[in-house]
Amino acid sequence: MFWIVLLMVVVMLASAVAALLLPNFLGAVAAVSVVSLGVAGLFVLLRAPDVAMTEAAVGAGLGSLLLALALRRLGLWRLEVQEETDHADR
């Protein structure tokens, strides 16, 4: 079990850092969804199937759908968008 846990924790932490550092917002939302999925997998390994189902449905499913829909309404839904930092004339 140790190697599976180690793999999932490493993937989770790497995706969490990537979600905050990726300049492309679509990729960042995908990274948050990977974090949720990793946490759901860890819940299965921790003998908590109810919580795993809830985290997978809510976090990786509905939460990521919510973030993606908000991306569209915020105008960040582009594959090559950069983070707007200094556009003082928007």
* Interface residue list for other proteins (CB under 8 A): 1-2, 5-6, 8-9, 12-13, 16-17, 19-20, 25, 28-29, 32, 35-36, 39, 42-43, 46-55, 57-59, 61-63, 65-67, 69-76, 83-88, 90
Residue 87 C-beta: closest distance to other proteins, Å: 7
Sorted by sequence, the CB contacts under 8 Å of residue 23 that are 6+ apart come out as 81, 82, 83
How far is Cα 31 from Cα 60, in angstroms, rounded to an integer?
Answer: 10
In sequence order, which ranges of the chain are alpha helices (DSSP H)? 2-21, 25-45, 49-54, 64-73
Cβ burial, residue 14 (10 Å; 0-12/13-18/19+): middle
Residue 17 C-beta: closest distance to other proteins, Å: 6
Q: Which is nearer to other proteins, 80 or 86 (CB)?
A: 86
Residue 38 C-beta: closest distance to other proteins, Å: 8
